[in-house]
Structure 1
Amino acid sequence: MLDSEDDDDSSQTQENSNIVLSNYSKKKQIALNNKLIDFIVGNNLPISIVKSEEFKVLFKEACPSYILPCRQTITQNLIPEKYECIKQKLSLELRDLRFVSLTTDCWTSNSNNPYLCVTVHFVNSNFQFVSRLLCLEYLEQEHKADYLNEKLDSIIKDWNLDEKVFKIVADSGSNIKSALTKRGWYVPCTAHKLNLSANDVLREKKIKIKYDKNGNDQYYIKDFDDDGVLRQKEITYEEAKILESVNIFKKDLNEIISKVRKLVGSFKHSYLLTKNLREKQEIMNYETKIKLIQEVPTRWNSTFDMIESVVLNKDAILSMSYESFNSVIKDKVPSHVEFTIIEEYCLLFEKIKDLTEILSGSNYTTISIVFPAIFTLVNYELDCLDLRTYEIKKLKTELVNSLKGRFSFVLNSDLYLAATFLNIKYKNLTFVKDLKLRESYLTRAKQFIIDIYNENFNTRQSQISSSPLSNISNSTPISSESSSSNISSIGNRSSTQQSLILEEKNLPNTPVSSFQNRSRSKKQNRYRKDNFLNKI
C-alpha cells in the first residue's frame, strides 16, 4: 500500500516537472522568436535567411532546444504579431499627448512601387524629442491631391491624432502641398527649398522676346516677385545681355561638373587609380585622406560633396594626371582655370550645404533656426563672400534672389518669428541690425504666441483653469556673449552631443592646396557649421 502511494507521488512529481519544463521552453521559444525578428528587421535582412543551412547550424550549436521558425511562420504570424504589439505600445505613448507634428513624403522604390511614409514627432514627459515612424503605405492610385489628402486623413484617424496634429512638414510638390493646405497643416521642408534654390542658380534662365504695338522688343524672364510668387518679369535690353552671358557661363559650369563626374567615376571603377591617389596623399602629407565622393542623384548636396572632394584633392589629382600610367584621367582632370571656378562654386554653396545638414537634425528644434539662418544668409553672409570670378558673383546675386523668393514664406511668417523668439539663443533677434524692424518682428512674434495660446489652451482645453494670455513682458536682454553661445542652446542635447561642439581654433595648414583649409574632416565640418550658427 505504501509502495503504491510512493509510486503515485513520484509520477505526480514527474508530471509537474514536465509542465514546468514545457512552460519554460515555450517562454524561451517566444523570447528567441522575438529576438530573431528584431535581428532580421533591424539589419534589413531577407526573411529567407532562416532557410540558410549555415544559419540553422549556428542556432543548433548556440541553442539546440530552439526550433527555428520557417519563412511562412515569420511572414504570416511573427511579424504581424510584432507589428500589432509595437503599434499598441506607440498608441499608448501617443494617447496622452496634447500636440504632435508630422513629416510625410512620397517615394518610389527600385521596383517602381509608390509609397507614402508618415513620421510623428513630439516631446515626451521627460522633455525629450521623440520621432516615431507611423506607417509606410502602398499607394494604389495616382498621386493626386485628393487621394493623398484622403490617405493622410485615414492614417491620422487610425492613430487617433485628429485633434492633436499641429503642423505637417512635406516637400514642395504641388500635390502634397494642395492636400495639406486645405487643412492649414502645411509647412514646407526647408532643406528641400534650399535644394531647389541651388538648382535655380545652375539652371539657365530663358529669355522670352515679345513685341509691343510699335514693334519694339520687350524682354521677359520668369522670376520671383516680392511675395515669393514665380511670375513673368520684364527686363531691359542691358539686363538681357548680361543674362545671356551668365547663361553661357552656366552652360560651361555644367560641362565642368560633368567632367568632374566622369573623373570621379573613373576612380570609383579603378582600384589602381584609388591606390595611386592614396599614395599621392601620403607623399604630399595630406593631414586627412579624403576619398572622392560619387554623386547620387536622389541625395541632396551630393553634387557639392563630389565637387568639394575633387577640389580638396586638387594637387594630388593634378600630379597624377602628369604620369603616363594614369593617362586614363588626363582628359577628365579640370584645368587650372576650371579648378578656380569650382573652388569659388564650393565657396558660394558651402553655406547652403551646411545649413541643409543643420536643419536635418532631430535632437533640437530646427524650426527656431530657420528664420535667423535664412535672414542672416540673404542679408549678410553671402554678401561677405570674397569672390573673384565675375560670373560667380552674378550667380551669387541669383542665389540671393532665389532664396528671398523661395523663402518669402519664412521671412514674412509670424510662425517662424515666434519659434525664433522661443529659442533662448535668438530670442532678442540681435541678428536683425535695423532696430525698428527688430522691434516690429518682436511685437509680431509675441502677438502670435498670445493668439496660439488663447486658441489652443483656452478653447480646446477649456477645462483647464487658466486665464487668457494677454501680454508677454519684455525679457531680460541677452548679452552678446550668450547670443553667440554654442549650438547646444538650440535644444535639449545629450552630453555626448554637446561635447561635439568645437572651440574656435585655427585650421591646420599643409603644403597642399590652400583651399583644403576649408574642410578636411568631419570634425572641421562641425566647426564650420557651428561657426555659421554663431555668426547669427
Structure 2
Amino acid sequence: MKRKKSASQSKQTQPASDPDSESDIMAIDVDADETEPSNETNKRSFVWLHFELAKDKKHALIDPKRAERISNSQTDIASWAKSGKLTQKVQLNSETYRTALVNMIAECNLAFKTVEKPSFRNLLRLFNEEAMPLVNSTNRDSIATHLSQVFIQSQEQIKMEHLAKQEFISFTQDAWTAPNMTAFMGVTAHFINKKFEMVDLTLSIPHVQGELALILCLGLTLLLIFL
C-alpha cells in the first residue's frame, strides 16, 4: 500500500526546486490481515492427527506406560552389565567340529561317508574357507571313532544328570529285525520330571544275535549297567 504525504509535510521535507522527485510518496508495509478481510476460515492443524486433548489437561511427550517399560528394560540392562557374563563363542577345532558332525549324522540318519563327499566339503567352504584343512582331514574312520567316544560320554551324562536324580523310572526294551535281516534291541527309560513332563531317553540300541532268551538277558544286563 502506498500513501501520499500531505502538502504541508512535502514542503517541510523536500525542497521546492525538485518537482519531479518521488520522495513525496512513502511506502508503508501493512499486513494483509489489517487491510483486507480474509474470506478463509480457520482450519484445524494437521498436527492434531497425531495428538489428542487430555482430560487432565496435562501433556507428555511419551506414553507413561511405555516410558515405564523402557525404564525397566534399561534397569535390567544396567544390572546385567554389572553381574552378567558374556557367552564365549565356541572355538572351532577338531573336537568341536567332529562333535557337531556326529550330532548331525545321528539326527539326520546319514552315512559316515557323507563327510568325504565333495559337495559337502564345498558347502562348508562357503561358510569358512579357513577351516578347510580341518574339513579335508576328517574322514569316515575318524567320525566313527569320535562317535564311539561321544556315545560313552553320553551314557555317563544320562546317568548323572537324569537317572540318578529320579525316584521312579520305567525301563522298556524291544527287539526287531531290519530289512537286511540284522537284529537290534532298543532299551529306553521313561520318567516324569518335576514339571510333570514325560521324559524319554534312549539308553542303548545294540546289535544282537542268537536266541530270544539270550537277547532278553542282554537287555537285562544293559539295564543293570545304567542302574
* TM-score category of the 2 structures, normalised to the smaller one: 0.5 to 0.7
- Counterpart amino acid of 2:191? F
User: Alpha-carbon deviations, 1:453-481, whole Å to 9, x = none?
Assistant: xxxxxxxxxxxxxxxxxxxxxxxxxxxxx
Report the CA distance between 1:50 and its aligned residue: 1.2
Q: Is the CA contact (8 Å cut-off) linking 2:173 and 2:219 kept in structure 1?
A: no
- CA distance in structure 2 between the aligned counterparts of 1:64 and 1:47, rounded to whole angstroms: 22
Report the CA distance between 1:95 and its aligned residue: 0.7
Identical pairs, percent = 19
Counterpart position of 2:223: 156
- CA distance in structure 1 between the aligned counterparts of 2:102 and 2:130, rounded to whole angstroms: 18
User: Alpha-carbon deviations, 1:249-277, whole Å to 9, x = none?
Assistant: xxxxxxxxxxxxxxxxxxxxxxxxxxxxx
- CA distance in structure 1 between the aligned counterparts of 2:185 and 2:164, rounded to whole angstroms: 23
Counterpart position of 1:119: 188
- CA distance in structure 2 between the aligned counterparts of 1:105 and 1:150, rounded to whole angstroms: 12
User: Alpha-carbon deviations, 1:128-183, whole Å to 9, x = none?
Assistant: 11001111122121213xx23421221111101xxxxxxxxxxxxxxxxxxxxxxx
Using structure 1 for the length normalisation, give the TM-score.
0.24
- Does 2:122 match 1:57? yes
Using structure 2 for the length normalisation, give the TM-score.
0.55
User: Alpha-carbon deviations, 1:319-342, whole Å to 9, x = none?
Assistant: xxxxxxxxxxxxxxxxxxxxxxxx
- Counterpart amino acid of 1:121? H
- Counterpart amino acid of 2:109? N
Cα RMSD of the aligned pairs, angstroms, is 2.1
Counterpart position of 1:72: 141
Higher share in helix: 1
- Does 2:150 match 1:85? no
- CA distance in structure 1 between the aligned counterparts of 2:124 and 2:190, rounded to whole angstroms: 38
Q: Is the CA contact (8 Å cut-off) linking 2:186 and 2:204 kept in structure 1?
A: yes
- Counterpart amino acid of 2:199? V
User: Alpha-carbon deviations, 1:70-123, whole Å to 9, x = none?
Assistant: 1111012x2112212221221111012111112221100111011111111001
Q: Note the 1:184-223 alignment, pairs <5 A.
A: none
- CA distance in structure 2 between the aligned counterparts of 1:138 and 1:32, rounded to whole angstroms: 28
- CA distance in structure 2 between the aligned counterparts of 1:149 and 1:51, rounded to whole angstroms: 38
- Counterpart amino acid of 2:215? L
- CA distance in structure 1 between the aligned counterparts of 2:217 and 2:206, rounded to whole angstroms: 12
- Does 2:117 match 1:48? no
- CA distance in structure 1 between the aligned counterparts of 2:105 and 2:217, rounded to whole angstroms: 33
Counterpart position of 1:102: 171
Matched residue of 2:187: which SS?
strand
- CA distance in structure 1 between the aligned counterparts of 2:215 and 2:224, rounded to whole angstroms: 14
User: Alpha-carbon deviations, 1:384-428, whole Å to 9, x = none?
Assistant: xxxxxxxxxxxxxxxxxxxxxxxxxxxxxxxxxxxxxxxxxxxxx
Structure 2 runs not aligned, ≥5 long: 1-87
- CA distance in structure 1 between the aligned counterparts of 2:149 and 2:208, rounded to whole angstroms: 24
Report the CA distance between 1:27 and its aligned residue: 3.3
Counterpart position of 1:534: none
Aligned residues: 134
Q: In terms of Rg, which structure is larger?
A: 2
Report the CA distance between 1:31 and its aligned residue: 2.5
Structure 1 residues 27 and 84, CA gap change in structure 2 (3 angstroms)? farther
User: Alpha-carbon deviations, 1:489-519, whole Å to 9, x = none?
Assistant: xxxxxxxxxxxxxxxxxxxxxxxxxxxxxxx
Matched residue of 2:130: which SS?
coil
User: Alpha-carbon deviations, 1:271-326, whole Å to 9, x = none?
Assistant: xxxxxxxxxxxxxxxxxxxxxxxxxxxxxxxxxxxxxxxxxxxxxxxxxxxxxxxx
- Counterpart amino acid of 2:159? S
Report the CA distance between 1:33 and its aligned residue: 2.3
Q: Note the 1:324-343 alignment, pairs <5 A.
A: none
- CA distance in structure 2 between the aligned counterparts of 1:105 and 1:62, rounded to whole angstroms: 42
Matched residue of 2:205: which SS?
strand
- Counterpart amino acid of 1:87? Q
Matched residue of 2:175: which SS?
strand
Q: Is the CA contact (8 Å cut-off) linking 2:209 and 2:215 kept in structure 1?
A: no
- CA distance in structure 2 between the aligned counterparts of 1:110 and 1:64, rounded to whole angstroms: 41
Q: Is the CA contact (8 Å cut-off) linking 2:182 and 2:207 kept in structure 1?
A: yes
Q: Is the CA contact (8 Å cut-off) linking 2:116 and 2:140 kept in structure 1?
A: yes
- CA distance in structure 1 between the aligned counterparts of 2:219 and 2:110, rounded to whole angstroms: 29
- CA distance in structure 2 between the aligned counterparts of 1:72 and 1:42, rounded to whole angstroms: 19
Matched residue of 1:102: which SS?
strand
Q: Is the CA contact (8 Å cut-off) linking 2:189 and 2:200 kept in structure 1?
A: yes
- Counterpart amino acid of 1:41? A
Matched residue of 1:73: which SS?
helix
